[in-house]
Amino acid sequence: MNPSVDALRATFGNAIGRAAEASGDTIVYVARASLSAVMAWLRDTPGQAYDYLVDVTAVEYRDRERPLEVVYFLRSLARRVDLRIKIELDPRGELTLDSVVPLWRGADWLEREVYDMFGISFRGHPDLRRILMWETYAEGHPLRKDFPLRGRFSRAEQVRQALAAHPEAHYSMEELSIADAYDELPADMKERLRRGERGTLPHSE
Amino acid sequence: MKRVLETKDVAGQSPNYLLARVQDLVDWAVNASRANSLWPMPFGTACCAIEFMATAASRYDFARFGMERQAFSPRQADVLICAGRLPFKLAPVIRRIYDQMPQPKWVISMGACASTGGIFDNYAMVQGIDTIVPVDVYVPGCPPRPEGLLYGVLLLHKKIKGESLFDGVPRRDEAVLDERGLRLPPDQINEISEPFGNSVHQFRSE
């Protein structure tokens, strides 16, 4: 069992639910309300240092009584330790969670995928919209168990809606321009842009 | 060739002149040139594209059949080869590529998924690209071996050589899409998208 579990219990008490071990990985259930605090603690506490969010996904079980689970795969690159955090959500209740994008930027698309496939929204996500299905997709969230395998609409309606979509809407360069990314660029790249090495600076400082 | 040319025997000697209708001669020349210099536009989306690449590479080498130049631009292509499954998200893309190809143009649907949806009888997949674009040759297989694709190409040659410029029939549906935004009537799309074979025993979607 990963020693982080005991440390979590000591720090957060009742917010930490049961813990299990599966195939050498430790799984900890965390109360929904403490998600942000627990994640920030796991990332920033020196002895923990889970600096890498490997994946965010969700599971809905065939058993309708079981809750929907959102799963966070954490890894500490320096310590080479993995930890899995699970949040249980009642599928009949409100499917909302705090976003972890403020902690790990890489969670952006992962949470969008969970939203797209399961309909779970993430509070505080900068750009929560569908990522795999197109944005006008109206049939629901395909990986939910109540979603019919072949979709809700007739095949003709599906073909009609697909053909009505604008094929370039999702692949435009407007989605991320160098101007949007400028603040995030490494210093040497900023310097090269400032010198005008490649193109010109989109907005001068 | 047999249909076009008619030789005349003169008193048991070797034929010394030929008879042919100009129409047939023109059709023969045009079709032979078209069939023997097809420029394929590869639209590879899945594992079929790997077999397509094998077909194009030196061992099978479809350049032997005139497909020397692969056109990665639809505007310089004759034959669209859809190699692999087509999700609904790509449906408007392949339709636009097809619309951008100049006449005359043909489509080969390579593999089970492109032809029927294959094992992907689900919410995300087009159940046969013929609901999106007209198809000339369906190549079965999962994926088809290069020999299969080459056989499909040869069948397309045969089809092209049977076409005529003078029969008054429009060669292909030129209309982009009808007012509903479809190329087939909705009930026909529903019918050809129905599960068949083993898929009818699939109960998970109820």
Kindly report, residue by residue over B33-75, the tens digit of the pLDDT.
999 999 999 999 999 999 999 999 999 999 999 888 888 899 9
- Give tens-digit pLDDT for B78-130: 999 999 999 999 999 999 999 889 888 899 999 999 999 888 888 999 999 99
Helix crossing, B146-161 with B22-35: angle to 10°? 160
| Matching CATH number, A1-132, of 3.30.460.80, 2.60.120.620, 3.30.360.10, 3.40.50.720 | 3.30.460.80
Are B29 and B127 in a shared domain? no
For residue B49, being part of any structural domain is answered with yes
For residue B196, being part of any structural domain is answered with no
Helices H / strands E in chain A, number of each: 6, 7
Are B143 and B130 in a shared domain? yes
Question: B96: which chain A residues are within 8 Å (Cβ-Cβ)?
Answer: 167
pLDDT at B11: 65
Q: In angstroms, rounded to a whole number, what is the distance separating the alpha carbons of residues B199 and B206? A: 13
Name the closest residue on chain A to residue B131, using Cα atoms.
Answer: A159
- Give tens-digit pLDDT for B142-175: 999 999 999 999 999 999 998 888 876 656 555 6
Residue A153, φ and ψ in degrees, nearest 5: -90, 165
Find the CB nearest A149 among B88, B193, B204. Answer: B204
Residue B154, φ and ψ in degrees, nearest 5: -65, -35
pLDDT at B43: 93
Find the CB nearest A156 among B92, B186, B205. Answer: B186
B190 in contact with A, Cβ within 8 Å: yes
Question: B176: which chain A residues are within 8 Å (Cβ-Cβ)?
Answer: none
Are B31 and B97 in a shared domain? no
Beta pairing, strands B106-110 & B79-83: parallel
- Please, which residues bridge with residue A68 across strands? A89
- Sign of the C-alpha dihedral computed for residues A25, A30, A32 and A33 taken in this order: negative
For residue B63, being part of any structural domain is answered with yes
- Give tens-digit pLDDT for A80-104: 999 999 999 998 888 999 999 999 9
Average pLDDT over residues B170-197: 78
pLDDT at B6: 64
B170 in contact with A, Cβ within 8 Å: no
Write b or e for each residue in A46-82: b if 16 or more Cβ atoms lie within 10 A of its Cβ, otherwise e.
Answer: eebebbebeebebebeeeeeebbbbebbbbbeeeebb
Find the CB nearest A154 among B132, B190, B205. Answer: B190
For residue B135, being part of any structural domain is answered with yes
Looking up residue B84, the CATH number of its domain turns out to be 3.40.50.12280
For residue B101, being part of any structural domain is answered with yes
Nearest CA to A170 among A128, A131, A125, A126? A131
pLDDT over 80 (residue A52): yes
- Cis preceding linkage at B143, omega within 30: yes
For residue B182, being part of any structural domain is answered with no
> Which domain range does residue B78 map to?
39-162
Percentage of chain B modeled with pLDDT above 90: 48
Q: How far is A198 from chain B (nearest CA, A)?
A: 28
For residue B110, being part of any structural domain is answered with yes
- Number of folded domains that form chain B: 2
Reported ipTM: the value is 0.81
What single-letter amino acid sits at A20? A
Q: How far is B182 from chain A (nearest CA, A)?
A: 6
Question: B193: which chain A residues are within 8 Å (Cβ-Cβ)?
Answer: 155-156
Are B51 and B18 in a shared domain? no
pLDDT at B172: 56
